[in-house]
Amino acid sequence: MHDSLFRLLYQKNVTVHQYFDHFNFLDHSKAILVVGPMGSGKTEYARRVWKDSQVARRKSQYIAECTSTGSRDRRRVIYCRSALDLSRFEQYPKDMLVSRAGVERMGDELVITRNSFDIESLIDRNSQVGTWIIDEAGFYDDRLAFVIEHAITTTQSNFVLPTLLLNFRNQLFNKTTELLISRASDIYLFTAYCEHPNCLSASHCTYRYYMIDGKECPAPYFDPLILIGGDKKSGLQTVPNYETRCEAHHYLPAMNYCYLFLKPAAVQASSGYPETLLKEFEFVVNDIENSELYSSVVQESMSKGQEILLNSLNVPLLAERMLLYLYLELQLLSEDMFISIVRRFSLQEDYLHKRFAENSLRQMPLGLETSSF
Ligand SMILES: [Zn+2]
């Protein structure tokens, strides 16, 4: 269709970029991943799909036949917003989509969903709808990938899936994103400007840091992956900040430390030899300059020429973060060992309780289950 236009333009010796096609409702059975960091335009892309559907729906009965399979017309769109994301939009009406391009009232075409079961039931209940936008798809449980696969097979619906791809460790966000990637038919990769003040590069990394006494302190590698709530009660600056950064300005201290020292020490502890691990907790809590963590981060900072990595040692509750990494994420320590470390080093139980509450997979071990919060 564009051939004659492109031939004409190429003769003018200009570079032709095709920036954006309107959504193709004639296509069916698509799982379209829209990935990129915060501020890269994922929501704006999804909003355009919804706007396109408004235009496409005004077309003729002939088009309706071309865009439908059974009762489902792919020009009928429902936008699913994760309940986990609600706090971002507290001040707006529940049916309002907010993006950099403005706001859009979607009425009953915007639905709040909590998990893959909600989505599955929404698909069953709305047999006229043929295109599903699931915003922040990576926030859902990994069952979502199979719900989508089943719906595509049985209904030929289209799915548009805006999601973060990488967590602050520059690794795939979670199992859900991994499964969605392996099942996607199309992927749109968006980037944003790096948010470092001295940089205009394209970025795709999510950088987590804490502001402590006016200083930017990069989150250490072992910081908990899921951090939802703040900790106002503790009076400590434990609420993380996020920025989109290019790789050069994405600081991630203590990864070497985790793999070369902390993890092996925990493996040893779980085999009945806890001395090395306990000594390290002792140093991190009471005498950090003698810890392996300290020497590893100092060495990393020098070898990379990134002085800012040293600020990560000022992040509060380092021992609590290390313990959660070993117990909740790597599942290397027994419950007894977890409890004994918490008690021996008087770790902050409120902080630990909050992280357990955010991690629905495991309960706080018995003996520490009562909390004042
Ligand atoms: Zn940069």
- Asked whether residue 218 is assigned to any structural domain, the reply reads yes
> What percent of the chain shows pLDDT beyond 70?
91
Residue ending a domain, among 131, 155, 190, is 190
- Asked whether residue 299 is assigned to any structural domain, the reply reads yes
Q: How far away, in angstroms, is 302 Cα from ligand 1 center?
A: 20
- Asked whether residue 130 is assigned to any structural domain, the reply reads yes
Q: How far away, in angstroms, is 202 Cα from ligand 1 center?
A: 8
pLDDT over 60 (residue 327): yes
Residue ending a domain, among 190, 222, 254, is 190
Are residues 272 and 180 part of one domain?
no
Q: How far away, in angstroms, is 317 Cα from ligand 1 center?
A: 28
Q: How far away, in angstroms, is 250 Cα from ligand 1 center?
A: 8
Helices (H), the chain: 3-11, 42-56, 61-66, 116-125, 144-155, 175-183, 255-257, 263-270, 275-286, 292-304, 318-324, 335-344, 349-358
pLDDT band at 201 (very low <50, low <70, confident <90, very high): very high
Q: How far away, in angstroms, is 99 Cα from ligand 1 center?
A: 24
Q: How far away, in angstroms, is 249 Cα from ligand 1 center?
A: 5
pLDDT over 90 (residue 87): no
Predicted structure pTM score: 0.81
- Asked whether residue 104 is assigned to any structural domain, the reply reads yes
- Asked whether residue 296 is assigned to any structural domain, the reply reads yes
Q: What is the pLDDT of residue 371?
A: 45
Q: How far away, in angstroms, is 209 Cα from ligand 1 center?
A: 15
Are residues 186 and 37 part of one domain?
yes
Are residues 259 and 138 part of one domain?
no
Q: How far away, in angstroms, is 193 Cα from ligand 1 center?
A: 8
What is the residue range of 298's domain? 204-358
- Asked whether residue 214 is assigned to any structural domain, the reply reads yes
Q: How far away, in angstroms, is 292 Cα from ligand 1 center?
A: 30
Phi (first) and psi of residue 78, to 5 degrees: -120, 135
Question: Model confidence over 250-272: pLDDT tens digits?
Answer: 999 999 999 999 999 999 999 99
Q: How far away, in angstroms, is 307 Cα from ligand 1 center?
A: 16
Number of domains in the chain: 2
Q: How far away, in angstroms, is 163 Cα from ligand 1 center?
A: 22
Residue ending a domain, among 164, 190, 216, is 190
